[in-house]
Amino acid sequence: MRVFCGARPTPECHESLPQCDEPCAGCEILPLKAETACSPVSSCVRTTYARHIDRFFRKNPGLATRFWNDGYFETRAIVTRYLPQELLERMVRDPDETVRMNVALFLSPSRLVRMMNDTDREVRIRVAARIPVALLPMMASDSDYYVRHQVALRIAPSALLFMKSDPDPEVRRVVARRISSPHHLFFKSDPDALVRIEVLARGGPDLWDKALADPDVRVRFWLAEHASGEALRHIAQDSDPFLRQIALRRLGEESGRAVS
């Protein structure tokens, strides 16, 4: 832990500032020391130890407005939790991405529009997770796959048509799982096996029959564990011995239930 006096630490210079023999000298909180119960070794705004900064503002949230534009990024990031919306909105262009990530967490969803095109992916991921659903189509073509993944998880199923050709298979899996029927059938021949499995999970015997000869063992494994009737009997003759074993076990269980 370091405690500084005089100038406020900044991301560029806090490592080179001199440490004080009198750690509280020059601190603007010093006149309030009694009521804030601050301490340079446990609860302090003039340290680079984030836990101590956080402890100070948890005890004194009303002082956060004094530090929204502090020179040290950790301080700015921590006070976002306690700031009114008007001040948070002034921080959406903060130079530090850590600060902007926190702003995206605490700013009202309706005010997040200005952060949809933030240069940092982590910021945009948080925006996509909180922005009003009606605005999500504006982020459906984001350059980062995980931003689009968040969009696909929250957007209205009827709006997922615009994402059915997403280049990332993880995004297409979500789309195939949530898109309105019968549009999920668009993915039955998807190049990714896990996307094809999402389609099977929403289908029935007609889809199972068409997937019996799927070249990917993961698709046939899904059938071995979930299909029934003729499709399951077909898997019992699969070229993979493990799949045959699963299918035969399930066929035996089905026969036992039928007898009982």
d(CA 148, CA 151) in angstroms, rounded, equals 5
Mean pLDDT is lowest, of 23-32, 74-83, 113-122, for 23-32
Name the residue ranges covered by the structural domains of the chain. 1-107, 204-260
Task: Give yes or no for residue 39 having a pLDDT over 90.
Answer: no
Structure confidence by residue, pLDDT tens digits, 99-147: 999 999 999 999 999 999 999 999 999 999 999 999 999 999 999 999 9
- Quick one: 1-107 is in which CATH superfamily? Leucine-rich Repeat Variant (1.25.10.10)
Closest by alpha carbon to 76, among 108, 41, 106, 42? 106
Task: Give yes or no for residue 57 having a pLDDT over 90.
Answer: yes
Q: What percent of the chain has pLDDT over 90?
A: 77
CB atoms within 10 A of CB 257: 8
Task: Give yes or no for residue 46 having a pLDDT over 90.
Answer: no
Task: Give yes or no for residue 171 having a pLDDT over 80.
Answer: yes
pLDDT at 258: 66
| Element housing 197 (H / E) | helix 193-202
Confidence tier at 259 by pLDDT (50, 70, 90): low
Mean pLDDT of 83-112: 98
